[in-house]
Amino acid sequence: MRFIDEAVVTVKAGDGGNGIASFRREKYVPRGGPDGGDGGKGGDVYVIAEDNTNTLVDYRYTRRHDAMRAENGHSRNCSGKGSDDLFLPVPIGTTVVDTETDEVLGDLIELGQTLLIAKGGDGGLGNTHFKSSTNQAPRKATSGFEGELKVLKFELKVVADVGLIGLPNAGKSTFIRQVSAARPKVADYPFTTLVPNLGVVDIGRHRSFVMADIPGLIEGASEGAGLGIRFLKHVARTRRLLHVVDVKPVDGSDPVNNARVILNELERFSPELSNLPQILVLNKIDQMPEEELDELCTHIVAELDWTGDVFRTSTLMGEGTDAVKYHLMNEIELERERELEDPIFAEAQRTRFERLEVEVRLNTEAQREAYRAARRAAREGVDLNDDDDDFDDEDGVEVIYVP
């Protein structure tokens, strides 16, 4: 199944049923009076977060979803039956945006969470409501109200505690294979990973966190190079960024410059995102003689002016990866506990992630518009490199949480 992280859908809530004008008719009861019932209420449309789907691909093929219209009223003061509500399942981590107003209607980040996205119309009134001392046989009834019609955008961001970032072939996919049951493709060429890979890192009983391998970061990604920022938005929900750097790149490039490329792209794409806590992982230490390794690692840390945590690993051999995952688990648990105990800190965290969500969304839309403008220029004959179709969703696989 293809990995689709955006979809535009049209939803229509159910219309309300009409009220009716009716009069009581029974043997020996002349002039029984009005008994027209009200129309039923139209069905609402909800989205519900489920864990048995990890992609929005279904909404690329079925773009219109309508709730049923309610029944009209009946005689004998019987109201019409209301129609059932419509529930649209979406993956956990889906944001719903109104395309007309750009308003964020809600963010579904918990299993079973529901969000009302279109309200059904109320039913019309039967003629019983209009009787009075001066109008004892009203023939007036009202029609039901129309349900809401909305064009909405579903945006999926993977829900992970830790996001893996780094240049292609830095060892991110190998790292997530070592610490979790995820099995992403690993090969000795760039862009092996084309979609986010998720893995549950199990530390022990009741201790685990989710890690996401985010592909496509190269120099110029914030401006559309490579896979562009198509998947960079998926690190917007993470608590920590794990920056993996190859200490001995096979192409002979400078690991310091490689690390700066990623840091610069994060800053250009979202200053708020670049301020997330980062951990530096100096990877592939098995590729260097031990006598040179200390000097090189010290040089990298000094040149980057890195003040955060630093780890050395060989993801291929599994060396040093346990220390990283235990450190991450401890940091995440401390942060979760503080959020529960300190309301001020919890509110600051919530506000920060809200700012991050807004910044990421605006920057993603800005790049998309720039891309479309470039495509239009290309069709008009302007010379343009048209190789990086960032938003072509024809290739992809389903993102799967692996326990």
Confidence of residue 389 (pLDDT cuts 50, 70, 90): very low
Going by pLDDT thresholds of 50, 70 and 90, the confidence category of residue 184 is: low
pLDDT at 214 over 90: no
Cα distance between residue 314 and residue 286, in whole Å: 6
What are the pLDDT digits (tens) for 73-104? 998 889 999 999 999 999 888 889 898 888 88
Instruction: Record the pTM.
Output: 0.64
In the predicted structure, residue 149 carries a pLDDT above the cut 90: yes
What mean pLDDT is predicted for residues 21-31? 82
Please say if the pLDDT value at position 117 is more than 90: yes
pLDDT for res 16:
95
pLDDT score, position 200: 80
Residue 340: phi, psi to the nearest 5?
-75, -35
Provide mean pLDDT across the span 59-74. 92
Give the pLDDT band (50/70/90) at residue 227. Answer: very low
pLDDT at residue 217 tops 70 = no
Number of Cβ atoms within 10 Å of the Cβ of 369: 10
- Output the average pLDDT for the chain: 81
The model's confidence at residue 3, banded by pLDDT at 50, 70 and 90, is low
Residues with Cβ within 8 Å of 110's Cβ and at least 6 positions away in sequence, in order, are 49, 92
Of all helices (H) and strands (E), which one includes residue 295? helix 290-304
Rounded Cα–Cα distance for residues 163 and 401 (Å): 14
Structure confidence at residue 29 (pLDDT): 74
Q: 118 falls in which pLDDT band (50, 70, 90)?
A: very high
pLDDT recorded at residue 219:
56
What backbone phi and psi angles, to 5 degrees, belong to 147?
-75, 160
Please report which confidence band the pLDDT of residue 207 belongs to, taking 50, 70 and 90 as the band edges.
Answer: confident
Between 385 and 374, name the one with better pLDDT.
374
Percent of the residues in the chain that have a pLDDT greater than 70, as a whole number: 83
Residues 320, 313: Cα–Cα separation, whole Å: 5
What is the per-residue pLDDT for 401? Answer: 44
Query: Which amino acid appears at position 230 of this protein?
Result: R
Q: Over the stretch 297-333, which tens digit does the pLDDT of each residue have?
A: 999 999 999 988 999 998 888 888 999 999 999 999 9
